[in-house]
A and B are shown apart, each in its own frame.
Chain A
Amino acid sequence: MINKLTTLCAAMMLVSTATYANEQTVYQFPQVQSSSAVQLHMLEKDSVEYWQKVSGKELKRGVPLYVNQVDNFIRIAPKARFDSGEVFKPDDLQLDKLSIRDANSQLLSVQAAASQQKMQNAGFNDGSVGLRLGQVGAKAMLKTSQALNDSDTYLVHVIEKGSRNALHAKTQFKVEDQQQRLGIQLSMGQKRFKDKQVKLSLYSPKGEQLDVRYENGEAVLKYPLETLGAVNGYYELEASVKAVVNGQIVKRSIKMPFVHSSQTITMDNAKVTALGNNQYQAQVPVQVTDAGRYAIRATLTGMGDKGKRVKLATVEVAKQINGQDNFMMPFSVTKAAKAPFELVDIELTDQTRMLKFAGE
């Protein structure tokens, strides 16, 4: 019953809204919304995997594998390469031509193999094949006897599920405009990494590789970032490390997304007007740096019986804004309250570029 009443309330708001400003999209939440933390500052992640690109020539000669536990899985996939304006996809890999050998070229046991079909059933529809190394401890080399093109590219991807040697990354999620340094803390247990032990790669939302280097816990970008917001996906920072743990070489890769942000919208003080019959309107002046569709979400508050500020209703409004403009926010409330009325928990959204900002 309550749900139906709130639905009715929301629907009635749609009616009243239409008379305010036709070009706005307005939504009043059925209940007052709690403040949502719009600022995501850091992301953390662990990895027990590594991946590296190798050439056909290297794969024929032998590629070192860093596998330290029996619970492992090795995926090998053909990767496209771009040459003279054309995209080349390498030959498919033949599982029976792949072998893993030790430093003396003796065959190491392979416990299980996954064909292209089996890999495809698991979602790897890129021509991947898979192996599991049954014997660890020796220096392992992955090798093929297949007649691969020397310059073709393949991906070697190793996972050691449940490994105690996980690479932990904690990275800054939001990079402000013109900022060319991005915090990235990397650790493996108590171990920290020196600059020369970390190899970084940076990719734009479109997949372009950009120049970056690692320096004392930060990624240093050679050029300012170009793509604002998350609407086309995130930038990704990829770190690869190699460490010696208890005499064994452990290799790990990790990929962390982040967004390039700029304060594309700012607001001035809101003016709240009581219209009578529990109807209120907040006028919020805003300025934008880039034309687009923007939204504001805010909760109206007033003074309750005991002189305490009470939350009355939460509304979200969106419209196209090209420069200076006003959001007109209609509130329909059921609780009695007195002036002064104020907006709290304000959140601004750039819907065109997908950016979130805390209001003032």
Chain B
Amino acid sequence: MKELLANDKNAASRAEACCSSSQVTMGGSAPQPLSIPMAQTQEDDTPCCGPKPGPPSSPFEKPGYRMWHFVSGFAETPVGAIPRIATTLKATDFAGTFRARLGICRDRYRVAPGLYSAGDPGAESPVLVTANYKLSFDSLRRELNSIDAWILVLDTRGVNVWCAAGKKTFSTEELIRQVNGVGLNRLVSHRELILPQLGAPGISAQAVKKGCGFKVIWGPIRASDLKTFLRNGRKAEGKMRQLTFSIAERILLIPVELSLIVKPSMIILLAVFFLSGIGPHIFSFSAAWFRGLNGAAAYILGVLAGAVVAPILLPWLPRRQFYIKGIWTGLVVGFIGVLSLGNDIGRLEFLALVLVSTAVSSYAAMNFTGATPFTSPSGVEKEMRQGIPIQIIAVAVATIAWVAAPFVN
């Protein structure tokens, strides 16, 4: 449990509340095989119940630790035994990726920071630096078949390289700490580190050189370009240096966006049901329920329009401001959706519901700016100063219309 406790206490307790098993890995530490002689198994002549027992424990297992499935062995080096990792992903990795993409236990989906090896690296082999978010780690190791390399994993608190560089956990200080901590200068004869280009906002190459004597070489953005990069004399050019944001990349981000909206939505939906019950009879529970369902539907349509439809249609929606893109999708989805709710909706209610869809969609689409790789904080702030007042007015008018409707009818 040593490594888990080393993390901040809140994260650890959150993790235990969230994930049932606390994964503790044999990562950068150097486990020595146990020298205790193995107990003789008596598989053949034991008159026991049940199926035959499994194989004995691996000599690398240590009390209090659990071995990661991707560690295929350990390489003996001048700085201790370094875990050798498998370069193919297993079903459990894909399942983990799937859960992380849905936003389930995403902040605990991490590997131990420190040194790993791929293939059979030596003193001349390249050192690849990455983050300890398991998705980042997996996307690197799956590209390393037939490559001999050292992998230095920084403690980015389970955050990917790009976001960690923005939060300054993929940082100059952390890189120097890891290089010195694992004793990299005793392991390799060269003095070069290959970093993913998207780590650059957090790392100052000249400060790293000053701090630990290693030169930073900026590698490609995507791990899938690593082989070409290494073959081309460590030069990343053209497409390797440019971001993409394809429809597939955008769709992958949608579930996490939605998972972040769920919590505040519960409170908002409660308010919608409460407001729906207000009427000439002061408060009606049947109105709260039946009108509330319509209100909730309009809200959910707005969320879907802004957090699902807008990201998918992003390049084709008019105007560059995300809040405007969200208005288009919210208007169309809201209008069609509310029409299909039925005929017993009055004009005032119709107006309120479409306004709600549009405002919610506009806000959700504006929030998607954070998931894109091409928006600047100055630009987002500028559009928020325009968008938020419009959204607030729309919600205020919708609320008034919605509460007034039972009195008018």
A and B physically associate: no
Residues of B at the A interface (CB closer than 8 Å) are none
Interface set of A (CB-CB < 8 Å, partner B)? none
